[in-house]
């Protein structure tokens, strides 16, 4: 059916920002699992494939361990702040759960190989809980059958299944009780439920439930509950009633305060449960509960203190001096093609292209007769995996396939923020092989979901852009499709 529609559209001038695509040095900003120690004097995070610690407020980050065989993920301080539990990953040997001293001396907790995430240490340091997940597609499918939440007694090594269905396990005050989350989906709405179990998995208790909550954290004294909903951090009293208590950003059944301004993740309790900290990019925020809840007797203060981690790293720049000689060269000068051409390369830059260029002193000449060389392809709308549950593989076959077909730069307009930007910085520093990556990270999503970015005002919109601004060369407002 043919029809005509009269319409008026306002087209605004696009904001253009110059970006250096290949800086020789940069500050790593995707510091995953960034958290303070219980006394607030130290921080731990994962970046560039490994775990780092840093003395606050102005210390220099240093590797926790010295090994380079396995990638390291999911660091978490013990309640006494003297140890760090984490997981490892190796594409061939799979994963383990490890526990290290602050000096970096590490001991393997798990005896069985597997895919492990979310480890946590009990208050008495006797037990470690973790989640076993499945692999496949991006990582090895081996040892993927027995999944769920498990607890290991550190002394005996006994491993006990707590639940097959939960996720995100952690300990709080009681060393004999593990908290975890479950999901209940009704129609298009997902309710995230906080439950707990004894160490046998038999005595399950219900606690809180809220729509689209992505993270729960109970304070070490069992008096407070922090949670994240639509990127924002909230705190409410923790009440044990034996049944689910409804909560969320608009809950009115209990005192509730919003702690974050723009967003937050990696919730951590400090100083005997009197303060909460959270992270955003390379920044850690800290807020006293007494300054948010007037009935605690503190000053009414909505401003959190901010500590920034300065982690300057050098890009991987090859030290080369070579000439590729004899190839057919497809140029970027219209449809011009050079037969029997030459390309001079110095470090990571092409310095000359032609059919009769001068060979620089000391250059290695490589005969590529019979080959065709073309400019690298920029894929401006590419989607693909970077990690499995935030476990970045040592070799990503998607990335290698892209390179094999000539794609040397990719732009992903909708990708998990932590996964894509951590992989981007690993590529920049030569930890993994992949195309140069640009992305929006998690898109500013309007539909109701865990990643919904509510925009009801100009202030809301600016807040979401500020949330993404601190990330590595983020192209902020992502649109996947129209």
pLDDT given at position 465? 86
- Encode pLDDT of 30-81 as tens digits: 999 999 999 999 999 999 999 999 999 999 999 999 999 999 999 999 999 9
Task: Write the CATH number for 410.
Answer: 3.30.110.90
Q: Residue 432 falls within a domain, yes or no? A: yes
pLDDT at position 208 is: 98
Residue-wise pLDDT for 256-305, tens only, equals 999 999 899 999 999 999 999 999 999 999 999 999 998 988 777 778 99
Look up the pTM and report it. Answer: 0.93
Q: Domain check: are 298 and 383 in the same one? A: no
Task: Classify 462 as helix, strand or coil.
Answer: helix
Domain interval for residue 402: 321-469
In terms of domains, do 285 and 382 share one?
A: no
pLDDT at 475 over 70: no
Edge-to-edge strands, sheet with 50-55: 32-36, 42-47, 50-55, 62-63
| 101 part of a folded domain | yes
> Considering the domain boundaries, does residue 172 fall inside one?
yes
How many folded domains does the chain comprise? 2
- Pair (361, 308) in one structural domain: no
Task: Determine, yes or no, domain membership for 475.
Answer: no
pLDDT for 481: 46
Residues 65 and 161 grouped into a single domain: yes
């Amino acid at each position: 059916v043919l029809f005509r529609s009269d319409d008026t559209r306002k087209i605004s001038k696009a904001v253009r920002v110059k970006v250096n695509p290949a800086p020789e040095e940069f500050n790593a900003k995707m510091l995953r699992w960034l958290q303070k120690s219980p006394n607030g004097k130290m921080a731990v995070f994962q970046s560039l494939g490994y775990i780092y610690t840093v003395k606050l407020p102005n210390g220099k980050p240093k590797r926790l361990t010295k090994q380079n065989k396995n990638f390291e993920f999911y660091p978490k301080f013990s309640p006494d702040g003297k140890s760090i539990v984490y997981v490892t990953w190796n594409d061939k040997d799979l994963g383990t759960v490890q526990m290290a001293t602050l000096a970096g001396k590490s001991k393997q907790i798990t005896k069985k190989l597997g895919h492990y995430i979310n480890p946590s240490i009990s208050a008495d340091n006797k037990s470690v809980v973790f989640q076993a997940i499945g692999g496949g597609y991006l990582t090895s499918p081996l040892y993927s059958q027995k999944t769920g939440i498990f607890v290991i007694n550190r002394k005996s090594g006994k491993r006990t299944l707590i639940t097959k269905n939960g996720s995100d396990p952690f300990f709080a005050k009681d060393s004999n009780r593990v908290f975890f989350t479950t999901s209940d989906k009704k129609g298009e709405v997902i309710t995230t439920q906080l439950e707990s179990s004894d160490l046998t998995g038999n005595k399950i208790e219900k606690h809180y439930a809220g729509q689209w909550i992505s993270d729960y954290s109970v304070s070490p004294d069992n008096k407070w509950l922090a949670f994240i909903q639509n990127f924002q951090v909230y705190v409410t009293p923790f009440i044990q009633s034996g049944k689910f208590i409804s909560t969320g950003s608009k809950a009115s059944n209990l005192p509730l305060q919003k702690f974050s301004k723009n967003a937050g993740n990696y919730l951590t309790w400090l100083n005997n449960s009197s303060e909460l900290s959270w992270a955003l990019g390379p920044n850690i925020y800290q807020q006293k509960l007494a300054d948010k809840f007037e009935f605690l007797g503190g000053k009414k203060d909505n401003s959190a203190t901010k500590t920034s981690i300065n982690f300057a790293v050098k890009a991987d720049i090859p030290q080369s001096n070579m000439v590729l000689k004899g190839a057919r060269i497809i140029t970027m000068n219209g449809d011009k093609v050079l037969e029997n051409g030459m390309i001079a390369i110095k470090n990571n830059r092409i310095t000359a292209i032609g059919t009769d260029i001068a060979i620089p002193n000391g250059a290695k000449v490589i005969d590529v007769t019979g080959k065709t060389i073309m400019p690298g392809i920029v894929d401006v709308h590419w989607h693909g995996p970077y990690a499995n549950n935030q476990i970045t593989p040592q070799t990503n076959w998607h990335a290698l396939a892209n390179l094999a077909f000539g794609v040397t730069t990719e732009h992903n307009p909708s990708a998990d923020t932590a996964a894509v930007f951590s992989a981007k910085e690993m590529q920049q520093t030569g930890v993994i092989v992949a195309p140069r990556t640009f992305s929006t990270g998690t898109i500013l999503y309007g539909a109701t979901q865990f990643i919904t970015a509510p925009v009801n005002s100009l202030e809301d919109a600016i807040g979401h852009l500020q949330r993404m601004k601190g990330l590595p060369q983020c192209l902020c407002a992502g649109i996947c499709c129209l």
